[in-house]
Every structure is written in structure tokens, then in C-alpha cells.
């Protein structure tokens, strides 16, 4: 049994590496890593309890206990408290816009879920409602597993390190304050500038493409403001280009690809820079636009990360909405059918 489990774990690792090295821009990589991790933990537990080595048993039991604690009622409550505290800090440091209230909304939702688990709503429902209750719980589990796969894929993508052989660096816009580059956008430009100078020491310098249109409350396009920022930092004008028609990340990639194709044809290397929380989703848009570009991310303030990741996950779900509608619709449809059958049978 131990040998079979070890072989299965090793095969899962090979599949993970093959998928990630082929293309790190896959949500599938998160699922494959989580599968490998669970198999590896199971292998270690089986190995530990097949021997008399106490330290090995402790090493394997501790992560399992942490995992069980994190998904328990206590873990759910601790997450709620953390999200409420984060929402308070975020709204104090940033603005009270809806986009900055996502961690607060999630905290309220989890608190309600926490209370429902304590109350055990099931005991107040008629027996024939059990399938519908179970289906609702199954949907929550489905999105929890999907979120786990997304977070793992996101973390794995952070280890991506492009080579210093790029022809272009696409800098993605994120909005201006009038005509000024705000700190969030500046961090993206600085990341590109840092890569530019590092590559310049070992190869030909890349061309920086600043991508972003002009918003209704902005005095000039994001691309123009970003270019000016980079020129002030010492980047030569001939090593910059601007793309000022895009209004979202997909258009950033699409229009930038058109510019690169017009300069180099189809044979070139390119990367993009954005904030690390936006990195994985941006890579999916790059793939959708037909670019082989990988990304590098600039650091984001720790307090901003939870709210930003919630927004990223919502956007990822929206990108795959047809798939999720099918899954959720199937679960609800079967649950409703079983509920009707239960009602019919119980009232015979």
C-alpha cells in the first residue's frame, strides 16, 4: 500500500511539473498542486504510522491539525475577525468606495455562515427540504475548493521569473489622479524600469510599452503620464512607446500585441508588469489575447492584499461564468428535483 501511494504521489508531482513548466498561466496548476499536496501528506502520515519514529509522526500530524483547525468553526470565526479588522484598516487608509468594501462584505457573509452553523438551520426545516439544504452546502464547498485552487495557482505564478532577453515590457495602467501617477501605478512602472536596467547590463535593452487610455476624470491618458514618469527616471525616449486606446486589461494586452507585431512581426519576447495581486489574472488576459507574455509583479501593501484578492477572485469567476453557471445550475436543479420527490413521498 505504501509503495502504491508513493507511486501515485510521484506521478501527481510529474503531472504538476509538466503542466506548470508548459504554461504557468493555468488554474489547473492550482488543482494539480493541491492534489499532489494532499497525496503527499497522506503518504507521510501512512509512512509515519508504519514506523516507530515519533518525530516523523509529529511532523506529519501538525500540518493536518492546522488544516483541520483552519476549516473548523473556530477557523471560520477567526477569518471573520481578521476580515473585519482588515476592512477597518483599508477604509481608514484608502477611501470608502464600494471596491474597498469587499473584505467587509465577505466578513459579514462568513459571519452569517458562522451563525448558521451554530444555530443548525437544518433542524428548523421540514424533512423534504434536506436535499435543497444539502445542495446549497455543496455549492459553498464547490466555490471553497475553486477558491483554494485559484489561490494556489496565484501563489505558484509568483515564482515565475522571466529571462533577461525581452524585446518589450508592457506596463499596465491602473488609473491616474488628475495627471499624476499614484503610488500603485508608480510601483508597476518602477518594476519595469528595474527590469529594464538589469537587462541592459547583459543584453539589448527592451522597449517599454505604456498601456492605458484616458479616463473621464483624467487630464491625459495613463500611457502618456506613465511615459513621462519613466522619462523622468532616466529611460531614453526611443525605448518607450505608448498605447492609449485601452480601457481594460484585455485591451491592454490586445492593443499592445498589435503594436509589437507591427514592429517585430510574430518573433519577439515580451513580459508585462502589474501589481502582484493582479498578476495571475493579467496573465490569463495575455493568453486570451494571443500573447506568450509572462508577468512580473510589484509589491502591494499588506493591508490592501485581502480586498484586492477578493476582487481578483470575483473577476476570475466572471471570466469562467458559463462553467460555474452549469455546475451551480446542475446542483440546484438536482436539489430541487430531489426536494419535490421528497415532498411527494412524505405526503403519500
> Got the DSSP string for 73-123?
HHHHHHHHHHHHHHHHHHHHHS---GGG-HHHHHHHHHHHHHHHHHHTGGG
Domain match, 262 and 288 both: yes
| pLDDT number for residue 123 | 73
Tell how far CA 226 is from the center of its chain: 25
Domain match, 221 and 174 both: yes
Q: Do the beta carbons of residue 340 and residue 141 sit within 8 Å?
A: no
Point out the domain boundary residue: 21, 38, 70.
70
Domain match, 48 and 117 both: no
> Strand, coil or helix: what is 240?
strand
| pLDDT number for residue 75 | 76
What digits encode the pLDDT tens for the residues 165-187? Answer: 999 999 999 888 777 888 889 99
Domain match, 295 and 184 both: yes
Domain match, 248 and 288 both: yes
What is the helix (H) or strand (E) element at residue 262, kind and residue range? helix 249-264
Is 305 within the bounds of a domain?
no
| pLDDT number for residue 95 | 64
Is 239 within the bounds of a domain?
yes
Domain match, 221 and 173 both: yes
Point out the domain boundary residue: 70, 91, 111.
70
pTM of the model: 0.85
| pLDDT number for residue 261 | 94
Task: Identify the residue whose cell numbers are 492584499.
Answer: 305
Is 6 within the bounds of a domain?
yes
Domain match, 179 and 152 both: no
Is 307 within the bounds of a domain?
no
Point out the domain boundary residue: 46, 70, 94.
70
Distance set, CA 64 to CA 22, 58, 338 (Å): 31, 10, 35
Domain match, 151 and 172 both: no
Q: Do the beta carbons of residue 198 and residue 238 sit within 8 Å?
A: no
Is 200 within the bounds of a domain?
yes
| pLDDT number for residue 81 | 87
| pLDDT number for residue 265 | 87
What is the domain extent for residue 269? 168-300
Tell how far CA 89 is from the center of its chain: 22
Q: Which residues of the chain have pLDDT under 70?
A: 95, 121, 348
In angstroms, rounded to a whole number, what is the distance separating the alpha carbons of residues 130 and 28? 33
| pLDDT number for residue 176 | 84
CATH code assigned at 183: 3.40.50.620
- Tally of structural domains, the chain: 3
Edge to edge, the sheet with strand 294-298 lists 240-243, 207-211, 168-172, 270-275, 294-298
> Strand, coil or helix: what is 133?
helix
What digits encode the pLDDT tens for the residues 241-280? Answer: 999 999 999 999 999 999 999 998 888 999 999 999 999 9
Task: Identify the residue whose cell numbers are 491616474.
Answer: 176
Domain match, 294 and 181 both: yes
Question: Can you spell out the DSSP letters for 264-329?
Answer: HTT---EEEEEEGGGHHHHHHHHHHTT---EEEEE---GGGHHHHHHHHHHHHHHHTHHHHHHHHH
Is 312 within the bounds of a domain?
no
Amino acid at each position: 500500500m505504501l509503495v502504491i501511494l508513493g507511486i501515485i504521489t510521484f506521478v501527481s508531482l510529474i503531472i504538476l511539473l509538466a503542466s506548470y513548466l508548459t504554461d504557468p498561466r493555468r488554474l489547473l496548476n492550482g488543482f494539480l498542486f493541491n492534489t499532489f499536496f494532499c497525496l503527499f501528506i497522506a503518504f507521510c502520515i501512512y509512512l509515519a504510522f508504519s514506523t516507530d519514529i515519533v518525530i516523523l509522526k509529529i511532523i506529519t500530524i501538525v500540518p493536518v491539525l492546522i488544516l483541520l483547525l483552519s476549516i473548523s468553526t473556530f477557523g471560520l470565526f477567526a477569518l471573520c475577525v481578521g476580515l473585519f479588522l482588515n476592512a477597518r484598516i483599508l477604509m481608514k487608509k484608502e477611501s470608502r468606495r464600494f471596491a474597498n468594501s469587499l473584505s467587509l462584505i465577505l466578513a459579514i457573509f462568513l459571519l452569517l455562515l458562522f451563525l448558521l452553523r451554530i444555530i443548525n438551520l437544518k433542524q428548523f426545516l421540514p424533512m423534504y427540504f434536506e436535499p435543497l439544504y444539502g445542495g446549497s452546502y455543496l455549492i459553498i464547498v464547490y466555490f471553497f475548493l475553486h477558491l483554494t485552487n485559484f489561490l494556489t495557482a496565484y501563489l505558484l505564478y509568483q515564482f515565475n521569473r522571466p529571462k533577461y532577453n525581452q524585446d518589450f515590457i508592457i506596463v499596465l495602467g491602473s488609473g491616474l489622479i488628475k495627471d499624476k501617477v499614484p503610488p500603485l501605478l508608480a510601483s508597476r512602472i518602477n518594476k519595469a524600469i528595474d527590469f529594464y536596467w538589469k537587462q541592459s547590463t547583459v543584453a539589448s535593452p527592451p522597449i517599454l510599452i505604456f498601456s492605458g487610455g484616458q479616463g473621464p476624470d483624467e487630464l491625459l491618458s495613463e500611457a502618456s503620464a506613465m511615459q513621462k514618469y519613466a522619462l523622468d527616471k532616466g529611460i531614453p525616449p526611443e525605448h518607450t512607446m505608448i498605447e492609449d486606446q485601452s480601457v481594460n486589461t484585455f485591451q491592454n494586452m490586445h492593443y499592445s500585441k498589435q503594436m509589437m507585431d507591427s514592429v517585430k512581426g510574430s518573433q519577439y519576447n515580451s513580459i508585462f508588469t502589474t501589481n502582484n495581486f493582479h498578476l495571475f489574472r493579467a496573465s490569463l488576459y495575455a493568453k486570451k489575447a494571443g500573447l506568450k507574455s509572462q508577468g512580473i509583479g510589484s509589491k502591494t501593501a499588506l493591508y490592501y492584499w485581502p480586498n484586492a484578492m477578493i476582487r481578483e477572485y470575483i473577476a476570475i469567476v466572471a471570466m469562467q461564468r458559463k462553467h460555474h453557471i452549469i455546475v451551480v445550475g446542475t446542483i440546484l436543479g438536482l436539489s430541487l428535483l430531489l426536494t419535490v420527490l421528497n415532498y411527494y413521498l412524505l405526503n403519500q
